[in-house]
Structure 1
Amino acid sequence: EIDEEKVSEEAALDGIYVIRTSLEKLPAEDAVRHYKSLSQVERAFRSIKTMDLEIRPINHYLEKRVKAHLFLCMLAYYVKWYMMEAWRPLLFADEDQQAKQTRDPVAPAKRSAKAEEKIHSKRLEDGTTAHSFQSLLRNLATIVRNTCQKQSTDDPNIPSFTVDTQHSKKQQEAFQLLKDIKM
């Protein structure tokens, strides 16, 4: 037999959770923010394990090599994180990072109007296409250097020259944003 009173008591607690910390000087709002940021850590590990960083499992037998492999995985994610932060204006990302510190940490997170506009229109303010991290990398991968040389079987010392593709304005902006990273 179902105890309706017990069911309604449990239903009243749906969606409520308790966060406990041993840090006495941490305000409750910051404790909630830090707890919610654990999802970023989980996302980072998923990113390392999946195709984002294209790091496949490698079998190492020496402790030193295992540590080196883990270090390289973490370093790769660290670089990716800084790139994503720098490229926020070009990506489907919310640029208003200060709002995170002022909004109610318990309420569901909401994107800014600017971020919503990027997502719905798939365009940036300048009218160009908004990118995902992967699509921006694919765009940058179109930059190439071609070495040209006349084909000849007689003279192996035929001079050559190189031609680089011209960077688009978006590619130039992406590189400038990376140059502006402050560590």
Structure 2
Amino acid sequence: MTLTLNERSIDCSINEAAQAEDALLDGCYILETDVPAALMAAKTVDERYCDLQKVERNFRTIKTTFLEIRPIFVRKASRTKAHVFVAMLALKITRHFEACLRAVFATTDDDPHAITPDDALVALGRLTYLYQTHHGKHIVHLPRPDEHQANILRALGITFPTKPKISKRTKINKHAA
């Protein structure tokens, strides 16, 4: 494209041949790396680049969905290291979580009825202690997981406790049902 200024007007002319030549590269991208070709093939470089996009998407998902935190800004080196550590640990746990679910329930690409990590967390989030008072005595009950929850726990290799573990420090609300 060429722009020319003629007194009170701007003229635009488009070089059709150059535009057609540029269109041949639409959708193409170039990756440059300092890793020697002998150490890493071009296909591997491309795969790692695609993995980078997955990592960025995972961090966004982890911070908004799993950790439910807003962006934070830290200034001290120790806090930056701690923030990165927590984010990396969350990523590692999330990926392990996804791998366990994928191994048992398949992936959403393969099976529309597969269980995603979000689905699993919602299902497991329904497992809660029930606090009751009967004749002045406080009773803590942990209901058994339903079949769906039990399958998720099995996929994760988690044994469901038969008795609730209550800390001596745990205060039971005296007004609980």
TM-score by length of 1: 0.65
- Could you say which residue in structure 1 is the equivalent of 2:154? 176
**Structural mapping, 1:124-163, within 5 Å:** 130-152=114-136, 158=137, 160-163=138-141
Across the aligned residues of Structure 1 and Structure 2, the Cα RMSD in angstroms comes to 2.5
Q: Secondary structure at the match of 2:30?
A: coil
1:84-119, Cα deviation, whole Å (9 max, x unpaired): 12112437534xxxxxxxxxxxxxxxxxxxx1xx33
Structure whose CA Rg is larger? 2
Which residues of structure 2 form unaligned runs of 5+? 1-12, 159-177
Q: Match of 2:88, as an amino acid?
A: M
1:166 paired with 2:144, answer yes
Q: Secondary structure at the match of 1:87?
A: helix
Q: Match of 1:17, as an amino acid?
A: Y
Q: Match of 1:23, as an amino acid?
A: P
Normalized per residue, the structure richer in strand is 2
1:20-48, Cα deviation, whole Å (9 max, x unpaired): 33232212221221121111121123224
- Quickly say closer, same or farther: Cα 1:31–1:62, change in 2 above 3 A: closer
**Structural mapping, 1:22-171, within 5 Å:** 22-24=35-37, 25-58=39-72, 60=74, 62-88=76-102, 89-90=104-105, 93-94=108-109, 115=110, 118-119=111-112, 123=113, 130-152=114-136, 158=137, 160-171=138-149
Q: Match of 2:36, as an amino acid?
A: L
1:109-159, Cα deviation, whole Å (9 max, x unpaired): xxxxxx1xx33xxx3xxxxxx43322221111111222333254xxxxx4x
- Quickly say closer, same or farther: Cα 1:60–1:174, change in 2 above 3 A: same
Aligned length: 143
TM-score by length of 2: 0.67
Aligned counterpart in structure 1 of residue 21 of structure 2, from 9, 13, 16 = 9
Q: Match of 1:175, as an amino acid?
A: L
The whole-number CA distance in structure 1 between the counterparts of 2:74 and 2:28 is 44
The whole-number CA distance in structure 2 between the counterparts of 1:162 and 1:16 is 61
Which residues of structure 1 form unaligned runs of 5+? 95-114, 124-129, 153-157
8 Å contact 2:98–2:116 — kept in the other structure? no
